[in-house]
């Protein structure tokens, strides 16, 4: 018999300790515990309740030894005794569970959750990385490995994290108490990775904000070579005069980006970063102010903000797509974008790039999906959510390619060059130099510049909200007795830490720091985290148990395809990408600066600094656990606490 959760599902049953008689066929409470004493005709229903669950109260008295006393209620006129035993842990852990039940908020509407997840998954990388990776790896042919990697790697991992978060209703740290305690270090590693991301990703947002403010002029500042920051090498492609393009010629858009925004000419590299740019510091401060007041109250407020930040980019993408399609030469860019090169499918690096792109695009491993899903209703269809959001994400990447390459085709037409010569820039340079230059030479350039950089700003803000929420939820769920009533202060402290951690990226050589963190601080670290997460869930927690959890939420068991992906294919997929990265680390180069060898060592140290949390916690766990070594291992891989699930108006503990 199906029972739906009501508005009372977050309230535990409590009452004062006292004695009461339980008559046959009546419910009674003892020590605050709901006792079901069925009639003979109700035995079937009682059996359903006791099959896998025990009705519990979230806080019951201890016997003074830190143990919970068993409470039983016996019907005096019946031959059957119904006994209910609590499985609640006393002390701080019991208090933590009680606070989780009482204070756990949920999304205001289902659409708030969907928009938040879509906003997180669809970020700046969809606009600049996917188009570049696509045409570099065979154009239309690249869609084959991309789709395969999405089906067998990205989407199953995306679905797994949503299901874990929704069922256990915990952040990335405390959730491991209910899955496999020895892997709790994964949660701490995720928080460190998220802090690293916040330290450089928001600096890119500061660049976008600088461009946005600079766009409010009748003539965009990166249009001409008549500015104070321009050099003698500055040459505009679109000059009405006959201009000869020499080997050392530089476009005004490139000089605005490198000499005015970044000011990299005032730095000699990572060993001499130079001073801090006050303009970028002010931009970053404004970004963090927006972020703070969007997330300080929780998902109730951020869920409303994403109605703008998640939908606005699609409106702008459509406008830019229509505008790009009407430009002369747009077809050349589209042809270059999609023309298949089938021979590249035989190259291993193409498949590695496809796997890395879909993985970092969907974004498992950052604690965000766990956090967002933990605020869902228990019976929310997270399976459908996973399919919808991952499909929207992949289609957005594909459409963004048309937005970018129609403009690149236009530039190639105007320069009378091949598209391959125009499309040499990658990463942020593709947006801040190539696309910005194209916009500057369109009719109504100011309007298109403003909406383009507004789109980039909203794309980035969504991801920033999500990344910080992963840390906030993880810490608040782990230490509710400290921070549950002080969320605003914790968020403020976190924002300050992220701002201070970003100071190195705000220097004149900050772009070099951003590149180093982007390649090493997140890539191999988050791949390792998700690999261990998949192994812990499928092999230690158990794929059967996990599928049973999904069935309790959704009413159906995941099929053999999902089971096979979670047990074998997805972990192999992650191991494949990680090993490929480690076997051939990227040779970093930015503008004219070649990163010295020692920066590779520093990069690996940064990446290792987060992963090291996992073995450190494993060792700590085994040391503090009493018993023989075998007993310590068994206790460390056995869930500490049961997951309380809604069952009508009461809470049940899965056992």
Q: Is 548 annotated as a binding residue?
A: no
Q: How many CA atoms lie within 13 A of 373 on its CB side?
A: 28
Q: Is 241 annotated as a binding residue?
A: no
Residue (of 335, 329, 280) closest to 441 by Cα position: 329
- Find the DSSP H helices in 416-507: 419-422, 428-429, 436-440, 445-478, 480-483, 487-501
DSSP string, 72-105: EEE-TT-S-EEEE------THHHHHHHHHHHH--
Q: Is 610 annotated as a binding residue?
A: no
Residue (of 299, 334, 242) closest to 116 by Cα position: 299
Residue (of 321, 305, 327, 258) closest to 457 by Cα position: 305
Using CA atoms, how far residue 480 sits from 93, 194, 254, in Å, is 10, 20, 49
3-state secondary structure of 65: coil
In this structure, what token pair is assigned to residue 347?
């190259």
CB neighbour list of residue 44: distance below 8 Å, 6 or more residues apart: none
Q: Is 119 annotated as a binding residue?
A: yes
Q: Is 121 annotated as a binding residue?
A: yes
In this structure, what token pair is assigned to residue 205?
């947002």
Looking at residue 192, the DSSP 8-state letter turns out to be H
Q: Is 78 annotated as a binding residue?
A: no
| No. of helices (H) and no. of strands (E), the chain | 29, 9
CA distance 361 to 263: 30
In this structure, what token pair is assigned to residue 167?
């069922």
Q: Is 174 annotated as a binding residue?
A: no
Cα 624 versus chain centre, distance: 32
Residue 276 β-bridge partners = 507
3-state secondary structure of 437: helix
H or E element at residue 35: strand 33-36
**Which residues define the annotated binding site for Na(+)?**
119, 121-122, 126, 361, 393, 459, 462-463
**Which residues define the annotated binding site?**
119, 121-122, 126, 361, 393, 459, 462-463
């Amino acid at each position: 018999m199906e029972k739906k959760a009501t508005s009372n599902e977050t309230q535990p049953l409590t009452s004062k300790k006292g004695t009461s008689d339980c008559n046959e066929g009546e419910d009674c409470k003892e020590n605050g515990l709901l006792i079901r004493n069925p009639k003979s005709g109700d035995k079937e229903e009682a059996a359903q309740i006791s099959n896998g669950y025990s009705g519990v109260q979230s806080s019951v008295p201890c016997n003074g030894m830190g143990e919970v006393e068993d409470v039983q209620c016996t019907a005096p006129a019946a031959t059957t005794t119904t006994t209910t035993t609590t499985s609640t842990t006393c002390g701080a852990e019991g208090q933590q569970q009680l606070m989780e039940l009482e204070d756990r908020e949920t999304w205001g509407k289902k659409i708030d959750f969907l928009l938040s997840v879509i906003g997180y998954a669809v970020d700046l990388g969809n606009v600049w990385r996917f188009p570049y990776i696509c045409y570099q790896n065979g154009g239309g042919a690249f869609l084959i490995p991309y789709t395969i990697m999405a089906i067998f790697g990205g989407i199953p991992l995306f679905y797994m994290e949503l299901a874990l978060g929704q069922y256990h209703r915990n952040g990335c740290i405390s959730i491991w108490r209910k899955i496999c305690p020895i892997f709790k270090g994964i949660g701490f590693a995720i928080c460190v990775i998220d802090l690293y991301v916040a330290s450089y990703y928001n600096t890119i947002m500061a660049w976008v904000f600088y461009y946005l403010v600079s766009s409010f002029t009748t003539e965009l500042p990166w249009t001409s070579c008549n500015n104070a920051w321009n050099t003698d090498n500055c040459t505009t492609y679109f000059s009405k005069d006959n201009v000869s393009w020499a080997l050392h010629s530089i476009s005004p858009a490139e000089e605005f980006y490198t000499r005015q925004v970044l000011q990299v000419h005032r730095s000699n590299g990572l060993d001499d970063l130079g001073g801090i740019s006050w303009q970028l510091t002010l931009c970053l401060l404004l970004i963090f102010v927006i972020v703070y007041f969007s997330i300080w109250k929780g998902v109730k407020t951020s869920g409303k903000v994403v109605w703008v930040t998640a939908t606005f980019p699609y409106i702008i993408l459509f406008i830019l797509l229509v505008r790009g399609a009407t430009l002369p030469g747009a077809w050349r860019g589209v042809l270059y974008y999609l023309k298949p090169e089938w021979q590249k499918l035989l190259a291993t690096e193409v498949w590695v790039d496809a796997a890395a792109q879909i993985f970092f695009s969907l974004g498992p491993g950052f604690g965000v999906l766990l956090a967002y899903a933990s605020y869902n209703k228990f019976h929310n269809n997270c399976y459908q959510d996973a399919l919808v959001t991952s499909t929207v994400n992949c289609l957005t990447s594909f459409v963004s390619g048309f937005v970018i390459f129609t403009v690149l085709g236009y530039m190639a037409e105007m320069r009378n060059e091949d598209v391959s010569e125009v499309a040499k820039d990658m990463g942020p340079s593709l947006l801040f130099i190539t696309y910005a230059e194209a916009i500057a030479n369109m009719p109504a350039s100011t309007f298109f510049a403003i909406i383009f950089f507004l789109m980039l700003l909203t794309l980035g803000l969504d991801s920033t909200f999500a990344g910080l929420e992963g840390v906030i939820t993880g810490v608040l769920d782990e230490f509710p007795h400290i921070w549950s009533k002080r969320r605003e202060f914790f968020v403020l402290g976190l924002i300050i830490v992220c701002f201070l951690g970003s100071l190195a990226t705000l220097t004149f050589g900050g772009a070099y720091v951003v590149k180093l963190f982007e390649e090493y601080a997140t890539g191999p670290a988050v791949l390792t985290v998700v690999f261990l997460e998949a192994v812990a869930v499928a092999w230690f927690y158990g794929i059967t148990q996990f599928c049973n959890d999904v069935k309790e939420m959704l009413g159906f068991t995941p099929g053999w395809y999902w089971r096979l992906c979670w047990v074998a294919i997805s972990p192999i997929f992650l191991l494949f990408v990680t090993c490929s990265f480690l076997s051939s680390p990227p040779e970093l180069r930015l503008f004219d600066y070649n990163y010295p060898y020692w920066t590779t060592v520093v990069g690996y140290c940064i990446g290792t600094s987060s992963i090291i949390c996992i073995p450190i916690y494993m060792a700590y766990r085994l040391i503090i656990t009493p018993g023989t070594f075998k007993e310590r291992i068994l206790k460390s891989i056995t869930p500490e606490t049961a997951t309380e699930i809604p069952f009508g108006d009461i809470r049940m503990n899965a056992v």
